Structure 1
Amino acid sequence: MSSNTSYTDCGNTVCIIGGGPGGLCMARALKRQGLNYEQFERHSDFGGVWDLDNPGTPMYESAHFISSRDLSGFLDYPMPKHFPDYPSNRQILEYLRSFALAFGLYDKVRFNTPVERVDKDQDDRWIVTLHNGERRRYMALVCATGCNWDPNMPEIKGHFSGEIRHSVTYRHPDEFKGKRVMIVGAGNSGADIACDAAANADKAFISLRRGYHFIPKHLFGLPADEVSEKGPQLPMWLTRLIFGSILRMVNGNLTRFGLPKPDHKLFESHPLLNSQLLHYLQHGDIQARPDISHFDADQVVFQDGTREHLDLVLYATGYKWSCRYATDYFEWKGGRPHMYLSIFSRQHHNLFGIGYLETNSSAYKLFDNEAHLIACYLADQLKRPRMAQEFQTLINEDEPDLSGGIQFVKSQRHEVYLEVHALKKHMRRLRQRMGWNELEAGYFNPVRSQQDYVMQPLSRAS
């Protein structure tokens, strides 16, 4: 709690911290509800992790969107048809800034303005301290700074005489030339970077702790997520049966490439949406290895006792979810903030998070849904206090099952994992119960600028 009263009181204004995709969705949702807000972004423009020039970003030159173009755009602002099925990082950055222009979101943001800390006062208002010492008091606080900034580095016994880095430092495939390289970890970014190593390193390896189900980026000539999303919504057992049969026909038994057999059913953990890594494994350009046991000089010793001489070990082992300016105000469970629907703090009034969830879906439309719920709830606090109190009761007491019948892998990553269809159904029920607008085509048109912005490709210096 903060007792210092030397601040600027911003009344019923909402504070948004972060100018990435989640922060942009939140700004547009508040604008649509007619609520006043201020937004702070530590970097010089919108884009978040998608801006390669943003200090600390995990982005790399070869990165592409993991969900497809037509399913990934914001409501009322689809990605342009000239984008490929899986847009590049530069195209996503171009799209985000065009979105901000189209909805007039540059008007209320302060760039180059990091937030040092936040404090809650005795009136449940939020005091935000900026890097220059300025303090401002708000009705509500939305943390939209994402969770891919604090690299997770495992501790491995022994000493390695080569180079050890985390993938957050990786930018370009040329970094692998002339080296014997191993990527540790097989998330989607780890698989991507392993492909860069396969094509550029003198020798390339990937170390996997567990096996994964590989889904090709295209099935039947369509992006794989379109095949899943646009088909009929089937029971999970039947979806598993159909997709499992397709994957067995397309991929066969992947253990023949040295990959471990998955220790979980399809969709119980994130599948790898990657065809290229299998291509390189099939051609011997990269080799799979088990989990690391220890280091020994310039060698890596694996759990099965085998060894490899290496120059570079690059950990693609994910990120610790953190919110350094407000860590003490979140309840952390398994390294994840524990909130109602992964959005609403149960402990602190009007503290919200955008993007603090793991799910089997494209993120941007989910961000739209999250931001819409927050904005409607805040609007009710000012216009329909009885309904706002009803929703506050739900925040405190509602415990929906959002697993969709899936028994997710027991791991830190899956502490807040949600099945997207179960989440969307519950959000829809909440909107109906509370009398809030549905998120339908045209909902955000009233706050779109009269001018239609045409996206222009970003220059390399932008």
Structure 2
Amino acid sequence: MRVCVVGAGAAGLCAARHLLIEPCVTEVDVLEQSSQLGGTWVYTENVGYDDFGLPIHTSMYKSLRTNLPKEIMGFPDFPIPESERSYLPAKDMLAFLQLYAEKHGVTEHIKFKHHVQLIIPKQGATAELWDVTYKDLITGVTTTKEYDYVFVCNGHYNTPFIPNIPGLKQFEGDVMHSHDYRVPDIFKGKQVLVVGAGPSGMDIALEITSMTEKVILSHHLKEQPRSVFPSNLTQKPDVEKLEGRTAYFKDGSQEEIDVVFLCTGYLYNFPFLHETSNIVVEDNCVEPLYKHLVNIQHPTMCFIGVPYYVCAFSMFDLQVRYYVRSMNGTFKLPSREEMTRQWEEEKSERASRGYTRRQAHMMGPDQAEYYVSLALESGTDPLPPVFTAVHNDSSQKFLDNIAGFRNDIYKLIDDNNFVCLSKLYT
């Protein structure tokens, strides 16, 4: 079997690591657009477009530290090395991924500065094959190569989601998305409206208070965060409209602002997939996918890392092990009809619990059940329940004490238990 892996971020590296030890796999090509591995964990001060006219992939800002402890951020068979802190800077995570790739012989299989242009089911083939067309950005040479399987691992923190706020396009001040945020200095002395209170929105809103005159954090969280914010940060409900330099909010209040700073998340984006791959993204729901993973219409294509609010690296590992076992015949995927039925049932069930279509791949409290379902169907080792327990504990502490939660130190006792200690750093 010849396998193409799109992307050399954590998901792509994990896919290659398991494929390379699989006897039935004869060839693994990892196609990476940038000049180094690591995906979203690579920091660059550049924004916009690179030297080849392609969008800068990473959304990493300079000060970022993980919002989950390292104890649940490694791979099940390759944990992050012990260190004094649980919450690590991005450069440490990048170094970890480099170590992981070197240890498992992945790096030599990565084609750096190779841009994937088109992936299309091969016409007229007796078995389901894929033609992958990619361009060597250094030489300009375009190649089309045939593969038996395709692993799509291009991440989903790189294409900004721009909300439909009335008056946004006509706003007289500055508008930017967190994808292009690097350092807080750009907001010095300004009044900034931060739209969105996900992990990055909360984190960046707190960080820029050190530079801004005022920060207005607009969100629709059902429960107000219990974190104590600096006095120059005010929380507001959703923005109703923008006029001139004035923001009008749904509670009837208004604020004069200099910058609209969108921390509104990202869109799933697969510009290289031909329409005959039968994957459609509408309102940020990628479908039809079985287990948020398998292309139902073309089961020789999988997507690693689509679910979010998860223990990411461990989930990648579990998804890869699941799919590789379907490749080597350890278990058989259900029929297309059965996979479709289960996908439709899951969507209906989630909708009945209040999930919107845009939240089709959000896990959070559902992640433990998802991990179990993958492990049971494929007969592979499950993730220890302690991973989900730590994830939930850390996520709650993020909301309760955003300024101090990264001082916590986690220790995993066994597959079910952990302890959390707090330590103040100078």
Shorter-chain TM-score tier: 0.7 to 0.9
Q: 2:76 matched to 1:133? A: no
Match of residue 21 from structure 1: 10
Match of residue 248 from structure 2: 301
CA distance in 1, matches of 2:238, 2:14: 39
Task: Please give the secondary structure, in 2, of the residue aligned with 1:137.
Answer: strand
- Of the candidates 336, 339, 354, which is equivalent to residue 409 of structure 1? 354
Q: 2:299 matched to 1:349? A: yes
Match of residue 423 from structure 2: none
CA distance in 2, matches of 1:345, 1:61: 36
**Offset, 1:331:** 3.4
CA distance in 2, matches of 1:389, 1:105: 27
Cα 1:411/1:301, change in 2 over 3 Å: same
Identity of aligned residues (%): 24
Question: Which consecutive unaligned segments of at least 5 residues does structure 2 have?
Answer: 47-55, 136-140, 385-426
**Offset, 1:405:** 9.1
Match of residue 195 from structure 1: 206
**Offset, 1:181:** 1.1
Aligned residues of 2:73 and 2:311 also touching (Cα < 8 A) = yes
Cα 1:401/1:83, change in 2 over 3 Å: farther
Aligned residues of 1:336 and 1:416 also touching (Cα < 8 A) = yes
TM-score of the two chains, using structure 2 as the length reference: 0.77
Task: Please give the secondary structure, in 2, of the residue aligned with 1:168.
Answer: helix
CA distance in 1, matches of 2:250, 2:195: 13
CA distance in 1, matches of 2:68, 2:352: 23
CA distance in 1, matches of 2:337, 2:246: 57
CA distance in 1, matches of 2:334, 2:250: 54
Count of aligned pairs: 356
Match of residue 49 from structure 1: 40
> Residue deviations 1:12-71, cap 9 Å, x none?
200000000100110011122232311100011110011013823111112222221111
Residues 36-115 of structure 1: pairs in structure 2 closer than 5 A: 36-53=27-44, 55-82=56-83, 84-115=85-116
> Residue deviations 1:45-101, cap 9 Å, x none?
110011013823111112222221111111221112115211111111111111111
**Offset, 1:398:** 4.5
Q: 2:372 matched to 1:425? A: yes
CA distance in 1, matches of 2:261, 2:252: 20
Aligned residues of 1:206 and 1:287 also touching (Cα < 8 A) = yes
Match of residue 156 from structure 2: 147
Residues 168-247 of structure 1: pairs in structure 2 closer than 5 A: 168-212=179-223, 214=225
Task: Please give the secondary structure, in 1, of the residue aligned with 2:360.
Answer: helix
Cα 1:72/1:405, change in 2 over 3 Å: same
Worse-matched range after superposition: 101-110 or 75-84 = 75-84
Aligned residues of 1:40 and 1:115 also touching (Cα < 8 A) = yes
Residue type matched to 1:369 in 2? L
TM-score of the two chains, using structure 1 as the length reference: 0.72
Aligned residues of 2:11 and 2:316 also touching (Cα < 8 A) = yes
> Residue deviations 1:393-441, cap 9 Å, x none?
8645555759999965332332123411111221221123xxxx53689
Cα 1:170/1:426, change in 2 over 3 Å: same
Residue type matched to 2:116 in 1? V
Match of residue 138 from structure 2: none
Worse-matched range after superposition: 418-427 or 183-192 = 418-427
Aligned residues of 1:207 and 1:288 also touching (Cα < 8 A) = yes
Aligned residues of 1:402 and 1:422 also touching (Cα < 8 A) = no
Match of residue 312 from structure 2: 363
Task: Please give the secondary structure, in 1, of the residue aligned with 2:43.
Answer: coil
Residue type matched to 1:73 in 2? G
Residue type matched to 1:144 in 2? C
Aligned residues of 2:326 and 2:378 also touching (Cα < 8 A) = no
Cα 1:331/1:405, change in 2 over 3 Å: closer
**Offset, 1:113:** 0.4
CA distance in 2, matches of 1:136, 1:374: 22
Q: 2:310 matched to 1:319? A: no
Question: Which consecutive unaligned segments of at least 5 residues does structure 1 have?
Answer: 1-11, 215-250, 252-277, 442-462
**Offset, 1:112:** 0.5
CA distance in 2, matches of 1:340, 1:396: 7
CA distance in 2, matches of 1:414, 1:440: 23
Aligned residues of 2:372 and 2:382 also touching (Cα < 8 A) = no
Match of residue 290 from structure 2: 340
Cα 1:102/1:213, change in 2 over 3 Å: farther
CA distance in 2, matches of 1:303, 1:389: 48
Aligned residues of 1:183 and 1:315 also touching (Cα < 8 A) = yes
Aligned residues of 2:371 and 2:383 also touching (Cα < 8 A) = no
Task: Please give the secondary structure, in 1, of the residue aligned with 2:157.
Answer: coil
**CA RMSD between the two structures:** 2.5
Worse-matched range after superposition: 87-96 or 423-432 = 423-432
Residue type matched to 1:40 in 2? L
> Residue deviations 1:105-159, cap 9 Å, x none?
1111100101011111132211011123210000011100011111111232233
Task: Please give the secondary structure, in 2, of the residue aligned with 1:60.
Answer: coil
CA distance in 1, matches of 2:76, 2:177: 35
CA distance in 1, matches of 2:305, 2:142: 28
CA distance in 1, matches of 2:197, 2:179: 15
Residue type matched to 2:161 in 1? N
